[in-house]
Amino acid sequence: MTTVSEATAGRRELRKARTRAEVRETAQRLFAERGFDAVTIADVAAAADVAVQTVFNHFETKEALFFDGRTPWVEGAAASVTERASGSDPVAALRRYLEADLTQLLVAESRPENRSYLEALHRTTALQSRERMLVEQAGEKVAAVLGVAIADGAWPAAPAADLATAQLLSRMIADLFLVAGRVLVLENRRLVLAPEPDERRRLSVQATTAATLSELEQCMRGLAAQLLGQPG
């Protein structure tokens, strides 16, 4: 049975979530209309009809507000490992998730309605730094859960890996996969924003996503075999 205090707390959390969503939607609309640099937190607060402190209660920086809701891969990549089917390959699960996510992202960022988002990223050093930080955070999260999975013998390529080897392999896999994904995304953006867009080249970048991640997975299998002294 739900108590009065629990119901009150639930309503409070719901109001917070609604306020956060309203602030984010307002801010991202203003960024698209005026440009990221031209919008202040005070502008966002006024347009959302909240206090400036309310905005900061939900978002520590304007850059965090810009990216909020747009980077599900920061948590999703690690979740693909922890939430995979029992007994399944953790690295394959990660590769499948990133392949699907990157394919969707490359297509989405190529649409005309998202051009202002890409232009803001292209022009603003602070946003570029924030995005790099998010990639690093995602890599750390993936490496942590993948290291546990590999040490537990869940990866068929390294069933007998000791803890140190598992941590080395997990860090390499996480960073290689995420950095490769970022290279593909940045190249796609460059082609989208080029004065004379090369549609054939852009589609080629999208088409290489699966092959890139598959080759990296195979390379890491080979490295694992060498580190563990297994037959190639």
- Chunked mean pLDDT (size 10), the chain, 232 residues: 65 90 95 92 96 95 94 96 97 97 93 92 95 96 98 95 95 97 95 86 88 96 90 55
CATH code for residues 4-60: 1.10.10.60
pLDDT digits (tens, 9 = 90+) for 10-54: 788 899 999 999 999 999 999 989 999 999 999 999 999 999 999
Write down the pLDDT at residue 142. Answer: 98
- Going by C-alpha positions, the residue among 209, 227, 72, 94 that lies closest to residue 149 is 94
pLDDT for the residue 172: 97
Please, what is the Cα angle at 171 between 167 and 175, to 5 degrees? 175
Enumerate the CATH 1.10.10.60 domain ranges in the chain, comma separated.
Answer: 4-60
pLDDT at 209: 94
